[in-house]
Chains A and B, each alone.
Chain A
Amino acid sequence: MSTLSGVRPTRAFLIEMKRRIRFIERGCEFLKLKRDHLAKELTESLNALRGQRRLLNEKLAEVYEALREAYISLGPLEVVSQAKSVKKETDVDVLPMSVMGVLYPYLRVKKRPVIDVELDASLAKVARILLDLFDQLINLAMFEARTERIADELGKTNRKVNALENIVIPSYKRIVKYIEDKLEEESLDDLVRTKLIGGVLARRRP
């Protein structure tokens, strides 16, 4: 009943309320379209992500195997020393991209790591596989961020649609019904009053 407090049961307010419902219903339709599009994008992204992840996991398993060999061959101290000697020169530009108004980061590689130190063959193998994977890793990170943002936005949109469909629109409709009932009641009162007055006036006539 709290939604009805402050409601003015007037015809002008009823028209205003009906206009608002139409506006909200149109907005809800748009949100549903956005939700469907985001769901489609998310499904496609998830499928692509799954494929990319599987390929990357296979390659990373190869990297870990090669790294294990390097540790066994050189010992932990030498591996740490050689690994630390590769300068950390990786640099990426993070640019904003958008899908249905959802912003996600697009990564553009500016500088790749360069190996200009002596690496043992076992570590050079690790480095070579990782350099091959560099673009795939960047792409995966980008895709994961994109999927995450889309999923987040989809959740928000879904909540908005549900709130509009189940709470906002029904409450507005309740208000409209309340005003219509009130107006009908008032018109009935007016009719009865008119009839009564008409009857009294007719009885008074000579």
Chain B
Amino acid sequence: MRAALSKTPYGSYVDPLPPDARAVDYEKAFYELFFHRLERIIRVASDDMAPFLRAYFPLRYEAMNLKRVLRGKYTGESEEEIRGLLLPLPPQFIEDYDPLIEAKGVEDAVMALEGTIYKPLIDRLEAFKELEALWILEFALNKICFDAACDAIEEAPGRVRGFLRDFISLDRSVENILLLESIRMALHGRQIPAEYVEGLIGYTPLCPRRIGDELLGGRSLGEIVDSLKPPLPRILLPAVEGDYALVRTNLRRYLLEMAEDESRKRRFDIPYVLWFLLRCEAEVLDLTRIAWGLDQGLRPERYSRYLILTPGS
């Protein structure tokens, strides 16, 4: 893999890796290039474009890193182990991860977020303490990302707002359904305290509250998928069979198609930049899948159907 990538932009990120590098090392190297690209593009993006791009890409990854810190604090992982799982994302809305990583526990780490975009987490601390469940804070982080993206759409030019709303709505709807399905499975028949979930899931016109209530109420996923508006049934169909990985692949492919179709109408506008960044992100996801497949000695046909960028795309 290293030889195949050495003549690509990934070469300079992959070449310094030790010969016995594992899939996680490659994953970090791929993301490093993606984050550098992201930073450069957002830096030169116009004022009406940058907020949305920042809210959709870096904020999502920063929230992912933040979740990893909170999970580490929750189970008492060492600082070294927590740092080892973080993506190499340059500081965005958090200036430095160190105070969070060095905090005594989840509560101290959350309190250290005072004054940042993640402040709403502090309001959820009571519920976290009461239930001793980290998912409360993780859901709150998802909601912060969703709300930030929705707010950023309002700052985007009127000509692309409709497209961006559809884009975010589709992305969030699929993630919501996967999230609700995972709650249902992970809670393993335990009662979900509705008052704690209240306000934590960012419902969309494609996936309204009714769908959430039905899913948590025990209605089968198959019936729910059939009742959804297009293109959700097409994307979510593999979930009915239990293949959630393929749902994500379908979603990323569909979002790429959406951005590509829209960018044909307006060259070098937000959809075009979004399409380019989505492609870069898909490339990183695919390369990570290939690196992991090679690391595990899997035959390519075991993971190739999950690749987002098909040959010729």
Segment at the interface with A among B33-41, B50-58, B161-169, B177-185: B177-185
A75 engages B285 (CB within 8 Å): yes
Say if the beta carbon of A131 comes within 8 Å of chain B: yes
- Cβ–Cβ < 8 Å partners of A87 in chain B: 74-75
Q: Roughly how many angstroms separate A42 CA and B58 CA in the complex, as a whole number?
A: 61
Q: Is the interface of B mostly helix, strand, loop or mixed?
A: helix
Q: Do A80 and B24 touch (CB < 8 A)? A: yes
Is A20 part of the contact surface with B, judged by Cβ < 8 Å? no
- For the complex, what is the distance from the CA of A72 to the CA of B22, rounded to whole Å? 15
Minimum C-beta distance from B283 to chain A (A) = 13
Interface residues of B in 134-183 (CB under 8 A from A): 134-135, 138-139, 178-179, 181-183
**Chain A residues positioned under 8 Å from B243 (CB to CB):** 69
- Asked whether A85 and B71 contact (CB < 8 A) given A72-B289, A77-B87, A117-B135, the answer is yes
Chain B residues with Cβ below 8 Å from A121 are 178-179, 181-182, 185, 239, 244, 247
Taking a contact as CB atoms under 8 Å apart, the answer to whether B289 and A122 are in contact is no
The answer to whether B77 and A84 touch across the interface, beta carbons within 8 angstroms, is: yes
Contacts of A128 in B (CB 8 A): 185-186, 188
In the complex, which range does the number of interface residues on chain B fall in?
A: 35 or more
Contact check, A122 vs B244: say whether CB atoms are below 8 A apart.
yes
Nearest-neighbour CB distance to chain B for A73, whole angstroms, equals 4
In the complex, which residues of chain B have a beta carbon less than 8 angstroms from the beta carbon of A70?
Answer: 244-245
Measured CB to CB, the closest approach of chain B to A64, in angstroms, equals 11
B86 to chain A, nearest CB (A): 8
Interface size on A, residues (CB 8 A): 33
Return the contact of B64 from the options A72, A78, A117, A131 (Cβ within 8 A): A78
Chain B 63-78 residues near chain A, CB threshold 8 A: 64, 67-68, 71-72, 74-75, 77
Asked whether B253 is an interface residue with its Cβ less than 8 Å from the other chain, the reply is no
Q: Report how far A70 CA is from B138 CA in the complex, Å.
A: 19
Q: Is A118 an interface residue (CB 8 A)?
A: yes
- Which residues of chain B come closer than 8 Å to A118, judged between CB atoms? 67, 134-135, 138-139, 179, 182
Give B147 Cβ to nearest chain A Cβ, in Å. 17
Q: With A82-B71, A124-B186 given, is the CB distance from A77 to B24 under 8 Å?
A: yes
CB within 8 Å for A125 and B185 given contacts A77-B85, A116-B135: yes
Measured between alpha carbons, how far is A86 from B28 in the docked complex, in Å? Answer: 23
Task: Name A72's contact: one of B77, B138, B242, B292 (CB within 8 Å).
Answer: B292
A68 to chain B: which residues have CB within 8 Å? 296, 298, 302-303
Minimum Cβ distance to chain A for residue B77 (Å): 6
Q: Mark B271-307, 1 if CB is under 8 A from A, else 0.
A: 0000000000000010011001100101000110010
CB closest chain-B residue, reference A78: B64
Q: Which residues of A (43-57) have their CB < 8 Å from a CB of B?
A: none
Q: For residue B176, give the distance in angstroms from its CB to the closest CB of chain A.
A: 11
Cα(A84)–Cα(B70), bound, Å: 11
In the complex, A118→B74 CA distance in Å?
A: 12
- B187 contacts which chain A residues (CB < 8 A)? 115
Q: Which residues of A contact B107 (CB under 8 A)?
A: none
**Across-interface contacts of A82 in B (CB, < 8 A):** 71
Q: Known contacts A84-B71, A84-B77, A127-B185; is A69 also within 8 Å of B27 by CB?
A: no
Nearest CB in chain B to that of A112: its residue:
B188
Neighbour of B67 across the interface among A81, A127, A131, CB < 8 A: A81
Provide the residues of chain B in CB contact with A198, threshold 8 Å: none
Q: Which residues on the A side are within 8 Å of B296 (C-beta)?
A: 68, 71
Smallest CB gap from B139: residue in A = A118
User: Could you give 6 example pairs across A and B, Cβ below 8 Å?
Assistant: A68-B303, A84-B77, A85-B74, A87-B75, A118-B67, A125-B185
Interface of B with A (CB < 8 Å)? 22-24, 27-28, 64, 67-68, 71-72, 74-75, 77, 81, 85, 87, 131-135, 138-139, 178-179, 181-183, 185-188, 239, 242-245, 247-249, 285, 288-289, 292-293, 296, 298, 302-303, 306
**A residues with CB within 8 A of B:** 66, 68-73, 75-78, 80-82, 84-88, 115-125, 127-128, 131
Known: A68-B298, A72-B303, A75-B289. 20 other contacts (CB 8 A): A70-B245, A71-B292, A72-B292, A73-B306, A75-B292, A76-B292, A77-B24, A84-B85, A85-B71, A117-B74, A117-B133, A117-B134, A118-B67, A118-B139, A118-B179, A120-B178, A121-B182, A121-B239, A123-B182, A124-B186
